[in-house]
Amino acid sequence: MGLILSISRNIHKAYLRTVNKNYSIEGLKGFDLKGKTLGVIGTGRIGSHVVRMASGFEMNILAYDCRQNKELKGMCKYVSMDKLLKDSDIITLHVPYCPENHHLIGSNEFGKMKRGAIVINTSRGPIVNTKTMLSALKSGKIGGAGIDVLEGEELIKEEKELLHDVKKLDLKKMRQLALDHELLNDEKVVFTPHIAFYSQEAVMRILEVTIENLIAFGKNKPINIIGW
């Protein structure tokens, strides 16, 4: 929701202007979330929280998931992927990464979106094809992107090491690194360095659940078992 608000009200652009002592509001007109359609792809624990928060903003909410969450009845409408892409003003991704979800959002999916739609990705980088996202941004097909993850984020973190060790240079990796840099330099993109989960309370919950899992496993009564 932070990324959505940052883009919808041009908060990031306004901040960068004020840093440079520019207080003009020209080109900073945003839009209200009330009445807009939010498309939520993946309604597990995280996606379902987004649905609840978005309902507080009085948004119309469409959802797509292979398993429907009955607890969200009345708050969102489950539709096909195609309809979600076609009708949503903002699309937010909350799916796990697996081979089936690699480049879940690519040229075909961007082509089905509303012109000027906004895409939010806080799941995993490879869910979205970076190259086609760049093309969609440049053509104006999508109006902006809020991303907490990158397809090649590990390359950004290891960039100095990669550039100073010729043996580690890989043409495919370098192309991805270049694409990532181009994406991050687009003024229509708001990027955070994989911190969507990172709050004091969330870190404590992770520790508590980990301890509970270890204790239960030691008693031969495993909990929080994930099935596919």
Give the predicted TM-score (pTM) of the model.
0.87
Query: Looking at the annotation, which residues are catalytic?
Result: 124, 153, 194
Q: Which residues pair with 90 in a beta bridge?
A: 38, 118
Q: Which amino acid is at 49?
A: H
- Closest listed residue to residue 159, CA positions, set 187, 180, 183: 180
In sequence order, what are the residues at sequence separation of 6 or more whose Cβ sits closer than 8 angstroms to the Cβ of residue 220? none
pLDDT score for 20:
93
pLDDT band at 164 (very low <50, low <70, confident <90, very high): low
pLDDT score for 36:
98
Options 3.30.70.20, 3.20.20.70, 3.40.50.720, 3.30.1360.170; CATH of 2-201: 3.40.50.720
Instruction: Give residue limits of the domains in the chain.
Output: 2-201, 202-228
| The pair of three-digit structure tokens given for residue 191, joined into one six-digit string | 């990027």
pLDDT in tens, 80-102: 999 999 999 999 999 999 999 99
Query: For residue 169, is it left (φ>0), alpha (ψ between -120 and 50) or beta?
Result: beta
| The pair of three-digit structure tokens given for residue 178, joined into one six-digit string | 């270049």
Task: Give me the mean pLDDT over the 185-213 stretch.
Answer: 92
What is the sign, positive or negative, of the torsion defined by CA atoms of 171, 172, 174, 175?
Answer: positive
pLDDT band at 220 (very low <50, low <70, confident <90, very high): very high
pLDDT in tens, 19-64: 999 999 999 999 999 999 999 999 999 999 999 999 999 999 999 9
Q: How would you write 78-93 as a 3-class SS string?
A: ECCHHHHHHHCCEEEE
Residue ranges of alpha helices (H) inside the chain are 2-8, 11-19, 45-56, 81-87, 107-112, 130-139, 153-157, 159-164, 171-184, 200-218
What is the number of helices (H) and of strands (E) in the chain? Answer: 10, 7
pLDDT band at 201 (very low <50, low <70, confident <90, very high): very high
pLDDT score for 179:
79
pLDDT score for 132:
95
pLDDT at residue 105 greater than cutoff 90: yes
pLDDT at residue 184 greater than cutoff 80: yes
Mean pLDDT lowest for which of 4-13, 137-146, 158-167, 197-206? 158-167
